[in-house]
Amino acid sequence: MYGLGKKRSEFGVYCDRNGIKQLWLAKESKVSRNTISELCDGAKLIQPQEQTILKIISALRKHGYNVKASDFWA
């Protein structure tokens, strides 16, 4: 658990630790806010589509975060 006692996925923990806001990431990656929220939620552990992963990773890299898709999703 992290922060307010909510379960978080590895992606959610990464966003929390680096101060990445879900709304900001949704705008930058052009992925819906609900999708970003579901990916950060540790209770559901969903596997996003490849296109969604590429949008999120490229938006993070564009702003200087050195991440790979395998850091969060298998």
Q: What is the pLDDT of residue 74?
A: 79
Q: What is the pLDDT of residue 31?
A: 97
Angstrom CA distances, 63 to 23, 29, 42, 67, stand at: 15, 11, 25, 11
Question: Can you give the pLDDT of all 74 residues of the chain as single tens digits?
Answer: 555 677 899 999 999 999 999 999 999 999 999 999 999 998 877 899 999 999 999 999 999 999 999 999 97
Q: What is the pLDDT of residue 46?
A: 83
Q: What is the pLDDT of residue 60?
A: 97
Give domain 10-71's CATH number out of 2.60.40, 1.10.1410, 1.10.4160, 1.10.260. Answer: 1.10.260
Q: What is the pLDDT of residue 4?
A: 66
Please tell me whether residue 2 adopts helix, strand or coil conformation: strand
